[in-house]
A and B are shown apart, each in its own frame.
Chain A
Amino acid sequence: MKFRSTLSTLSTLSALSMVFLVCSCSLTYGQTRISGSVKNSADNKLAAGINVTVNTKDTGLLLTYALTDDKGAYQLSFKTSSDSVVITVSGMSVKKQTITHPNKSSLLNFNVAYESIVLKELKVKPPKIRRLDDTLNYDVGQFTGKNDRTIGEVLKKMPGIKVAEDGAISYHDKPISKFYIEGQDMLEGRYNIATNNVEAQDVETVQVLENHQPVKALKNKEFSDQGAINLKLKEGAKNVLVANTQLGAGLAPVLWNNELFGMYFGKGKQFMATYKGNNTGDDSATDLQNFYGGDNSLGFPVSLGIQSPSGPGVGRKRYLLNRDNAVSLNNLRTIGKDYKLTANISYLNDRQIKDSYSRLENYLPGDSTLVIEERMKAIEGFHYMDATVKLNANKEYLYFDNSVRFSGDLHRNEYGSVENAQFIEQDRSAPYFKVSNNLSVIRNYKKSTIRINSYNGYGRLDDGLEVRPVLYPALFSDPGTLSGTRQSLRQNLFVSNTNIGFGMQHGRFRQNYVAGANASLLRLNSELQSLTQDGTTGNTADSLSNNLNWDRYDIYLTPEYSYADKKSNLTLKLPLSNISQYSNDQVAGNHKHQARIFFTPSLSARYKLNLLWELYGQAGYAQSIDGAENGYTGYIMQSYRYLVQNIGQLPERSTQSYNMSIKYGHPIKMLFASWSGSYYRSKMNLLYGNEFQGFLAVRRTLDIPNTANGYNFSFSADKGLEGIFQKISLNAGYNNSENTQLNQTEIVAFLNESYSAGASINGKLGEWADFDYGLRYGRSENIIKNDARSFIPISSAAQSAGFNLFPVNGLVINLKYEYSFNSAVTGDGRRMNFADAGVRYNLKKLEFKLEYNNIFNTRRYIAAAYNGIGSYYSSYDLRPTQVLMKVRFKIK
């Protein structure tokens, strides 16, 4: 039975109700009329728009209600059998008043007090990923777990986005082209500074800008298949200085780990500063890595090195014996409307110790095997400095960019010792620096675009390697007892690359022409001398020295034709280049000039089937000729056991390559997948090999044309989920490569085949725990053609599991376990286990973190792998068990 209490409207029923009221006054269940006004007690003013409600006393049911008019007056009339009613006065900015009043008509005035009421909020949950045109918006809050502090940790959980071990971010398996914060690229590629330091709680949204063309003047003219990332900060993190610090100490031995971070993001002004220092195995240099590729134009062709172990296949934190300090200062300022000035300065000093045992087995012709066993220890010192100042304007019709950069290490040194049959000491000092200027201008005129690019740089490397005792006594004829050898190598390099480009648009077709000239002028001086016991150097034989001027000039023209419509993109490049190399070997008195004309066409096509599917294909042909790195003719001792001399002929290579890929991306289903395959075939004119004299190797070159080829397939998929499992990733790959190598005097063809597969899952168990699990499997096999001996396939597997518990608010317990297996290892190292634990506790603005790493105290990492026609086994010393206490707090 529904009871309906009718509300009387004064406008239509007032006359009637007056009559009714008069009649019913004397009745028992008559109409009650209560009227009055509501006043504000603070200012004594009449309050309008206030709710006045009448509820029955027994059932609490709403009988009637009224809103006060602009004179603060209200009128209520109702009918009820109960003897008293509850009258409530309420409003958004007044204190609620409730009184019990007898059920009889009366005049009732209220005085209310100001008070803003607080409602229980109802959070609107936006979709986790939202697409607006070419931009994907990831809602950071929904991807952030309780164990995640920095935005880098959250990025790893976002489907479609991949973060590699070193921090490199890729979207759809392609590295991102730009990393912006609030739409500005302040860090210029060193975005680990942001991902490792900016707190996830300060970021509102991570935006992926698909097919992002960072140069506005090329927008809608030049297609880019790379994505870019933009961090949109929360309002509270903008226009204020955000700063925090971390202090950490631990045992064994004495450990320290400190950090200081500050950032400011305001209109037209961005600033970020970091300091990191530790001896706990956290490589502070990872923050300073440039993922935009940096400056590769100034590469010294030859370098020396101490024989030092290559890193093992576990997380760097497990084996890095460091003592480092890194500082970075980054500043961006807009000048006027269009220009911005960016300055980035970073400095790193580090002392790393490496300790390992390795065993290299090389199958030699016949039935013999060469075994090189080395117990190696190395201490490397870095003092790396990098400073860049950049002025940039990015407008629709004009792009201007000029950057000046200095980088170098003026005290770089390495010391190493090797024990095999004897004790060998190596001492290297290799200070270097590079200065460069890069200018880029793009200007649009109606349908055409002109661009100018000019890079000029100078670099100098003073390399020196001393090895004791003398290992190649036959090379020297100096009198007396020799204590060692000294290799010195100085390179002065000047590089200038300038090109001018012109582009024209005809509807969907575009043609682009780039003409350029590159010059690379190298002065290389080297001497290999003996060291006598009193420290003096011996005579320099001509065959052991180089005094080389090596100048290379390239002139090239690159016509480029492209077609783009709504669904497809087609680009044909037809670069033609003329290369001239002039070498002047002043020791041998040789002048040489070599000229080549190279044609290196490529064709790439992309087709968007629909919003979800995309196809890509590419084919290309490339030609190259080496320079001074394989052109010097005097001996250079590149390491204690590797002596290199060239025959004077330069290696040339031509390669054809084909790539294909299919991509699928569904942001609403949070499913991203890609398939790709590639094939290459290279032709070389020279065949290289090492000739072993005991453990010492001398490089040999033969004038025998040879080929190498290979193909691979890969698949990867990412699925974002709601519920216990949040993200599942799968990947698989197959790789096949065939090579030819010179083995002593015999030519050997060998084939390597490898498979890999992996899966990872992360998820959460309600509010109290989250977890991740990863599995990796790989199998590799080497086959020497026409040889009865075969390598046993090596299988390796690794698993890792992490578990984070959140028992009470502010407390996080981390547990981590890693397992690895290598079938080529016998004994202890075949299966390796690592475990770490940690506790984090937040107390107001303080965060305490206790870390207990390498609980099982696993001291060595054993690896085995194939290396050309040999196999390689190594045991690398790891960091022992360590306990570390860290405190992090917000300064501002």
Chain B
Amino acid sequence: MKIISIAAVFCCFSICAFAQKSDKEIRDVVNLRCYYVLSKRNTTAEKPYRTDTMLLDVGAKISRFYDPARLSRDSAIHQLFGSANQQNIKSINIYKGAEAKDFSKMPGTVMSNTMEGESYQIVKDKHAGVITVFDYVGATGTTKLQYEDKVGKLNWELVEVTDTIAGYPCQKAILKFRGRNYAAWFTTEIPVSDGPWKFSGLPGLILKVEDADQLFSFSLIGLTQPKTPFPLFISKSDYLKCTRAEFDKQVMKRGMGMQINLMNGDMSIAEISGKYEPVSMELE
């Protein structure tokens, strides 16, 4: 059983490694980069349990919203597998389920915890009015999926409340979206009809948005206009197309993530213990 799983893992990785070469396609150039902090809170807690820095890269036609740290953590795991070959791996130990071990504090460990950071990449094509979500199931990205999300025009309602966020005068707008009520602050001084996550459609950039229960909150913490615009990549067709409903089903199969330690040629792979119980922003 172990051998089969090892073989399976390696097969998947070699496919990933191969696929990665032709994975990217330049679709636009980034002329505005926005940094958002995403805070997530449990209903029972006062303080957020997790904060991550997310990036929104805006081009003339499309924009991409993603978590660079999570993607690089996961790609470190890819690379570790990619660099592993029979010559420098002498043994592989796999710890699953009940026997799972924690070696996060040991040198030479790379890990990806499903609960830490976001694995999705949300690409909005403004002119076509289409949102495409790229994601993968499993920390190692064994199943890459994409789906088109037809959110239509978001039914924002303007509210006569203003505020100043990050030095920009903002106006409030509210939205009921897939089971949650959101309040957003946007500024017409940045005439980009975009925002974090799947939000867009206001006459200016959304600098802050949170749900009424304050479980999810995105706040702008940085804004740069690159002097020399850099390419906006999106992943090409090796992502399996599915529907949003199908994707949501796959997500529930996710584990908590994995840790890989490579030391003296001994590779240890451990599942992170615990049950994966995500709280989705989308309730319907």
Check if B222 sits within 8 Å of A123, measured CB to CB.
yes
Check if A7 sits within 8 Å of B193, measured CB to CB.
no
CB contacts under 8 Å to A, within B227-267, are 261-266
Q: Can you sample 26 A-B contacts with CB below 8 Å?
A: A6-B157, A51-B188, A52-B203, A62-B171, A62-B188, A67-B203, A91-B191, A93-B60, A119-B190, A119-B223, A120-B223, A121-B224, A122-B167, A122-B221, A122-B222, A220-B264, A396-B87, A396-B88, A444-B87, A508-B264, A510-B264, A565-B263, A566-B103, A566-B108, A567-B106, A610-B105
A-side contacts of B123, CB under 8 Å: none
B-side contacts of A62, CB under 8 Å: 158, 171, 188, 203
A38 at the interface (CB under 8 A from B): no
**Nearest-Cβ distance from residue A709 to partner chain B, whole angstroms:** 37
B17 at the interface (CB under 8 A from A): no
Check if A397 sits within 8 Å of B160, measured CB to CB.
no
A124 at the interface (CB under 8 A from B): yes
Check if B264 sits within 8 Å of A9, measured CB to CB.
no
A5 to B171, CA, bound (A): 13
Q: Contacts A51-B193, A90-B188, A397-B87 hold; do A65 and B202 have CB atoms under 8 A apart?
A: yes
From B155, B190, B223, A9 is in contact (CB under 8 Å) with B155
Size range of the chain A interface in the assembly: 35 or more
Nearest A residue (CB) for B76? A133
Check if A7 sits within 8 Å of B158, measured CB to CB.
yes
CB contacts under 8 Å to B, within A254-292, are none
Check if B108 sits within 8 Å of A220, measured CB to CB.
yes
B159 at the interface (CB under 8 A from A): yes
B-side contacts of A508, CB under 8 Å: 264, 266
A92 to B60, CA, bound (A): 8
B-side contacts of A117, CB under 8 Å: 191
Contact with A along B155-171 (1 / 0, CB 8 A): 11111110000111001
A-side contacts of B2, CB under 8 Å: none
On A, residues with C-beta under 8 Å from B are: 2-7, 9, 11, 48-49, 51-53, 61-67, 70, 88, 90-93, 96, 116-124, 133-134, 211, 220-221, 396-397, 444, 446-447, 505, 507-508, 510, 564-567, 608, 610-611
CB contacts under 8 Å to A, within B45-76, are 53, 58, 60, 76
Nearest A residue (CB) for B262? A220
From B58, B87, B264, A446 is in contact (CB under 8 Å) with B87
B21 at the interface (CB under 8 A from A): no
From A5, A88, A118, A446, B158 is in contact (CB under 8 Å) with A5
A510 to B265, CA, bound (A): 12
Nearest A residue (CB) for B61? A49
Nearest B residue (CB) for A5? B158
Of B35, B188, B201, B224, which is in contact with the most chain A CB atoms at under 10 Å from its CB? B188
B214 at the interface (CB under 8 A from A): no
**Nearest-Cβ distance from residue A42 to partner chain B, whole angstroms:** 15
B138 at the interface (CB under 8 A from A): no
Enumerate the 8 nearest inter-chain pairs by beta-carbon distance, A residue then B residue, closest first.
Answer: A124-B222, A566-B106, A65-B203, A90-B191, A122-B223, A51-B203, A124-B35, A51-B191
**Nearest-Cβ distance from residue B205 to partner chain A, whole angstroms:** 9
Q: Contacts A121-B223, A121-B224 hold; do A53 and B203 have CB atoms under 8 A apart?
A: yes
CB contacts under 8 Å to A, within B99-154, are 103, 105-110, 126-127, 152-153
The tally of residues in B whose CB lies under 8 Å from a CB in A reads 55
Check if A61 sits within 8 Å of B160, measured CB to CB.
yes
**Nearest-Cβ distance from residue A492 to partner chain B, whole angstroms:** 46
A123 to B109, CA, bound (A): 32
A-side contacts of B201, CB under 8 Å: 67
B225 at the interface (CB under 8 A from A): yes
A660 to B223, CA, bound (A): 49
A532 to B234, CA, bound (A): 90
A508 to B106, CA, bound (A): 14
B12 at the interface (CB under 8 A from A): no
B-side contacts of A608, CB under 8 Å: 106-107
A6 to B160, CA, bound (A): 11
A121 to B190, CA, bound (A): 11
**Nearest-Cβ distance from residue B201 to partner chain A, whole angstroms:** 8
A120 to B32, CA, bound (A): 12
B-side contacts of A9, CB under 8 Å: 153, 155
Check if B221 sits within 8 Å of A120, measured CB to CB.
no
A-side contacts of B266, CB under 8 Å: 507-508
A-side contacts of B269, CB under 8 Å: none
Nearest A residue (CB) for B225? A119
Check if A92 sits within 8 Å of B192, measured CB to CB.
yes
A92 to B192, CA, bound (A): 6
Nearest B residue (CB) for A124? B222
A630 to B191, CA, bound (A): 84
Check if A7 sits within 8 Å of B157, measured CB to CB.
yes
A-side contacts of B88, CB under 8 Å: 220, 396
Check if B32 sits within 8 Å of A133, measured CB to CB.
no
A-side contacts of B167, CB under 8 Å: 120, 122
B275 at the interface (CB under 8 A from A): no
**Nearest-Cβ distance from residue B38 to partner chain A, whole angstroms:** 14
**Nearest-Cβ distance from residue A96 to partner chain B, whole angstroms:** 8
B-side contacts of A611, CB under 8 Å: 105
B196 at the interface (CB under 8 A from A): no
A170 to B236, CA, bound (A): 47
**Nearest-Cβ distance from residue A257 to partner chain B, whole angstroms:** 36
A248 to B122, CA, bound (A): 58
Check if B155 sits within 8 Å of A3, measured CB to CB.
no
**Nearest-Cβ distance from residue B22 to partner chain A, whole angstroms:** 22
Check if A92 sits within 8 Å of B87, measured CB to CB.
no
Contact with A along B167-208 (1 / 0, CB 8 A): 110010000000000000000111111000000011110000
B-side contacts of A134, CB under 8 Å: 107-108
Nearest B residue (CB) for A397? B87
Nearest A residue (CB) for B86? A446
Nearest B residue (CB) for A507? B266
**Nearest-Cβ distance from residue B23 to partner chain A, whole angstroms:** 23
**Nearest-Cβ distance from residue A78 to partner chain B, whole angstroms:** 10
B220 at the interface (CB under 8 A from A): yes
**Nearest-Cβ distance from residue A635 to partner chain B, whole angstroms:** 58
